[in-house]
Amino acid sequence: MKLKMVIVENFRCFANETFSFSDETIVRAFNGAGKSTIAEAVVWCLYGTNIMGSKRYDSVLMREGTNNMKVITVWETASGQDVTVERVKPETGGVKQFINGNKVRPGQLESLFFNSVQEFLSVFIPGYFSSIEPKDAKAIIARYSDVEPNIVLSSLLPKHRGVLENEKFGMGYDSIQILAKKASTELRELTEDLLRLDGEISTYEAILAEPKPEQPKSLVTEEIKAQVNRYSERIAEFDFTQKNVMNQRKELNTQIYRKQETYKSIRAQRKTLDDTCPTCKQKLLGDALKTAKQEVEFHNATVERELKKIELEGIELRKKLEELQSLESHKTISEIEKMRNFVNKVNTQLGNERDAFTRYEEWQKRYDRASNELNRLKGIREIQQENIEKLSLKIEATKAFRSQYVRMQQNKIDKLLDNVKIQLFRVNEDGEVLDGFRILWNNKPYNLLSHSEKVWCDLEIGRAIFQLRPNPEPFPVFVDDAESVLNLFNTQHDRQIIAAYAYRSSLIVEERKLTALHLEEEIRNLQSLISSRSA
């Protein structure tokens, strides 16, 4: 691709200018006369940025006092076809871009030139590539020096190739980076899970290692249990009877007390014969005395009968009370107490045995659960261990892939370079890929190079970049401050060179051969002037 013509209108210092270019073009003028502006116009026409690749600079690039600008660039492809690219900033509305008079289609510009302004500037402007961030510079080289994953896979060991051959590598090197990161994350999670499993397994193993308790046996036979049941029934019957006896005894005592009180009351009703008339107080005689005596006897006889009746009832009540008291004999109570003690002792033994059986059952359940869980967790652990081994192998394979990829990529880049060494990564002794971007020119770090060496270095880098493209077509290069570059035109170049020199004149853009003729003529004129003054 060659730049044939640049037409600028209201761009920076230019009102309306047209510049034509040959294979070797010289641009010379005073400093500030617009030499680098020509290169910036080309960049803006293609990508809409300034010469440093920064966007939103339209108002700065527009000529002072104007409200519109336009740049047209005419290019010639390797097949000899002309391509015209035009970018217009009208007075109103947004910027428009055209290719061969038609509005630019998506991807059309990129197919003709480069995918980004950074890539274009890395080829077009020596010094730009080395001025950008290392990660951006590395991305440009890596984009065009990609290695086919299948080629890398074929160079790996069979065990590594087998792990990766079914993976997708649609994003090239980035795909293997993503795969390695994912595998590392999964490995870390599985390792943490394995530690948790080991902790649980240790806990269950400790349970199974505990001494087995002796299985308890009951000392209470069925005969003893039957005896306890009989005693319990007898005790219950006794307790029930005792409760009734107490109530009956209380009731009998109450009845006896009442009988005694009644007896006393009736006995107090006995009368004695009084031979004195209660009315007149005269002594009774004869029939009156006899009648009074009969009345007393009759009354007392009735009282005696009532007393006798009460005595008989009292005797009956005491008899019943004695019968009740016989039920509470010391012998009976002693026997019941013995039964009660026996029942309590057996029940205590049974309670202790129940506790022992419960503890044993709990231990057995704990032991069985620990045994089952241990077997289950060991199975899970075995699977986890297999997965960890697979992931470890995958990580090892991605490491080998990256290492081999970087070596192949480096070889691909090295074949395109003579004096320059571009290192995108470095591989340590373990095969681990580390960041290590650097640029060397004849084994000298870039930051130690002179301006001339930097230009030569960047010329070689630019050539490598366009040669790495799918369609490796040469692109022109614009060398500013060319007077500081040694032997710029003493070497046969494989692309178009536009060199800008500081010169005491207004802007001149012409073929290098014409510049040489003009300079020779100026030298002759100076020599003639010197000779005439000497004479």
Mean pLDDT of the region 474-496: 92
Beta bridge pairs of residue 26: 499, 510
Residue 174: predicted pLDDT: 80
Mean pLDDT of the region 200-224: 91
By mean pLDDT, which of 31-40, 246-255, 323-332 is the weakest? 323-332
Residue 275: predicted pLDDT: 67
Residue 89: pLDDT band with limits 50, 70, 90 = very high
pLDDT reading at 328 higher than 60: no
Mean pLDDT of the region 28-49: 96
Beta bridge pairs of residue 83: 75
Residue 245: predicted pLDDT: 66
pLDDT reading at 494 higher than 90: no
Residue 188: predicted pLDDT: 94
Most confident stretch, 18-27, 49-58, 211-220, 445-454:
18-27
Mean pLDDT of the region 71-95: 95
Mean pLDDT of the region 147-163: 91
pLDDT reading at 329 higher than 60: no
CA separation for the pair 336, 334 (Å, rounded): 5
CA separation for the pair 308, 292 (Å, rounded): 24
Interhelix angle 222-267/330-414, rounded to 10 degrees, is 140
pLDDT in tens, 505-520: 899 999 999 988 888 8
Place of tokens 């003639």: 528
Residue 135: pLDDT band with limits 50, 70, 90 = confident
3-state secondary structure 198-221: HHHHHHHHHHHHCCCCCCCCCCCC
Buried/exposed 339-376: b ≥16 CB within 10 Å, e otherwise: bbebbeebeeebeeeeebeeeeeeeeeebeebeeebee
Please state, rounded to an integer, the average pLDDT across all residues of the chain. Answer: 88
pLDDT reading at 82 higher than 90: yes
Residue 314: pLDDT band with limits 50, 70, 90 = confident
More confident residue, 259 or 3: 3
Question: Helix, strand, coil shares of the chain as percentages rounded to 5?
Answer: 60, 15, 25
Residue 304: predicted pLDDT: 79
CA separation for the pair 39, 3 (Å, rounded): 11
Sheet strands (E) in 281-341: none
CA separation for the pair 508, 452 (Å, rounded): 23
Q: What are phi and psi of 113, to 5 degrees?
A: -120, -115
Residue 269: pLDDT band with limits 50, 70, 90 = confident
Mean pLDDT of the region 361-367: 93
Residue 427: predicted pLDDT: 76
Mean pLDDT of the region 316-329: 67
